[in-house]
Amino acid sequence: MEKRSEKKSFIVKVFIILFFFSVVIGFLFWKAGTFLVIHNSPIPSDAVIVLSGYDNRMETGVSLITAGYGEHLILSDSNFLDVDIAIDAGIPEENIIYETLADSTYENAVFTKEIMLNLEFNSAIVVSSEFHMRRSKFIFEKVFQGTNMELTYVSAQNSFFNANQWWENEFSRTIVFQEYIKLIGYWLKY
């Protein structure tokens, strides 16, 4: 009789553990997209750094400049950014700084840090896609460590990514999985 009671108790404990584990995994899966998104309220800064990539990054950076949050626009990996958007919005060409060497998010941070040090800037708003912001912040914070430069992170929304329902379309699923793989890779490397 006692063995049967122990077995029943064991089965109940296993069921509780599995249920709890399923709830935790389900919650983490559900929140996987929103965890990637970081969006600070913009504060006045010396520059706005726009990382090349998906739609609306340039428009977000330009809107921050025109709203008075920065005077200089640093275009990182500028070969892939439409500078006409900035010029058409009235940003003087002398306030647009082109960084053309970056091939990765890490290099975006390294080369923009160099520009900011050379120009004696103390603060910047970093603009990237919302799904790219967790990794961008991780890398920029590592690269800018010890500089006393203040960085703020403002996400550009994308029409094809929904952080709250990332599993509903193939693009969002692919992006979320890629971002986690890259985030883990950068975390292990740096």
Is there a domain that residue 32 lies in? no
Is there a domain that residue 94 lies in? yes
So what's the pLDDT on residue 104? 93
Domain that holds residue 102: 47-189
Among 169, 160, 182, smallest CA distance to 36 is for: 182
Is there a domain that residue 183 lies in? yes
> 110 with 138: CB under 8 angstroms?
no
d(CA 118, CA 106): 19
Is there a domain that residue 39 lies in? no
So what's the pLDDT on residue 88? 93
d(CA 121, CA 39): 22
Is there a domain that residue 93 lies in? yes
Q: What CATH number does residue 139 fall under?
A: 3.40.50.620
Lookup: tokens for 88? 């058409």
Q: What letter does residue 78 receive in the DSSP assignment?
A: G
pTM greater than 0.75 = yes
Is there a domain that residue 22 lies in? no
CA distances from 176 to 4, 40, 94 (A): 46, 20, 37
Lookup: tokens for 42? 């913009």
Is there a domain that residue 37 lies in? no
Is there a domain that residue 40 lies in? no
Mean pLDDT by 10 residues, the chain (190 residues): 68 68 59 90 98 89 97 90 91 95 95 97 97 96 96 93 90 92 89
So what's the pLDDT on residue 6? 72
HSE toward the beta carbon, residue 61, CA cutoff 13 A: 37
Domain count, the chain: 1
Q: List, in sequence order, the alpha helices (H) in the chain.
A: 2-36, 57-66, 83-88, 105-118, 133-143, 170-189
